[in-house]
Amino acid sequence: SVACGQAFLPMHWGDRFLKGGVNALTQPAFDPISKQPELKHSGVKIEKAHLPWQFFALIEGNVQQQMERLRPLCDVFTYLSMGLAGRERPALIIRAASAEAPDPMLLQHIDQVLGLDEGPVMAYDDPKRSIGKRVRIDNGRITAIRLAGETLARHWLQALWLEERIDASLRRWLLAPLSSEPGK
């Protein structure tokens, strides 16, 4: 919960990081000399967002290029964040959420951008429940993950990616709706 008087919203981020930014939420008044927006006295009401459809992806490779190619998704999902993971093997992590599942064609497009539409990719799809999952394994280790509609396994799959371990006994569980690694 947020205490009264403690709301925070970044004010200097432009469209690249926060579509609409603070100016879309506050009053249009500004200081006539500095032209700075009048933000300090704006009333707000914060309500919990209900976004049941979840998305998670992790993709190794050229992180900057992937971010640029996927930036249009910011306009599609109600919530979307992109972050970084790894040191020796940098990866882009994408988290998104919406009130309802997007068009399946959008997920196909995302798979194409992430290179999950061909090659050694494990896949599971349940169109009735708007669930789709992909895991790419190259040279015995996970190099990409895409979970849509059901993301319970995101933490332990990311841990497997980070640890560069994947054995035959785990492969059959990679697409299962499990919140922890089997056997742990």
Task: Read off the tokens for 109.
Answer: 């497009």
- 132 and 110, same domain (yes or no): yes
In a domain, 62, yes or no: yes
> What's the CA gap between 114 and 105, in Å, rounded?
14
Position 3 in a domain = yes
Decide if 179 is inside a domain.
no
Same domain assignment for residues 81 and 163: yes
In a domain? residue 181: no
Digit-by-digit pLDDT tens for the chain (184 residues) are 777 777 766 665 555 555 555 666 667 777 788 877 776 666 777 788 899 999 999 999 899 999 999 988 888 899 999 999 988 899 999 999 999 999 999 999 999 999 999 889 999 999 999 999 999 999 889 999 999 999 999 999 999 999 998 888 889 999 999 999 988 8
**Same-domain status, 70 and 107:** yes
Same domain, 24 and 101: no
Range of the domain at 23: 1-48
Specify the pTM. Answer: 0.83
User: Within the chain, what is the greatest distance between any pair of CA atoms?
Assistant: 67
User: Within this chain, do residues 36 and 70 fall inside the same structural domain, yes or no?
Assistant: no
**Structural domain count of the chain:** 2
